[in-house]
């Protein structure tokens, strides 16, 4: 039973984690793009 839970937990956590990571990257990049063009050095 614990094996069953482990398997599903691993999958769901990994997929969710990856999705969150992508979201963070999206936010950061969008901010940089909409910031002053050629902004900091």
CA–CA separation, 28 and 1 (whole Å): 40
Told to check if 15 binds other proteins by CB under 8 A, we report yes
CA–CA separation, 18 and 3 (whole Å): 22
Q: Least Å distance between CB 29 and other proteins?
A: 4
Told to check if 38 binds other proteins by CB under 8 A, we report yes
Q: Least Å distance between CB 7 and other proteins?
A: 5
CA–CA separation, 18 and 15 (whole Å): 5
- Element spanning 11, H or E: helix 2-34
Site residues (vs other proteins, CB under 8 A): 1, 3-4, 6-8, 10-12, 14-15, 18-19, 22-23, 25-26, 29-30, 32-33, 37-38
């Amino acid at each position: 039973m614990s094996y069953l839970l482990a398997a599903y937990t691993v999958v769901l956590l990994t997929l969710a984690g990856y999705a969150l990571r992508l979201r963070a990257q999206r936010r950061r990049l969008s901010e940089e793009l909409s910031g002053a063009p050629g902004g900091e050095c």
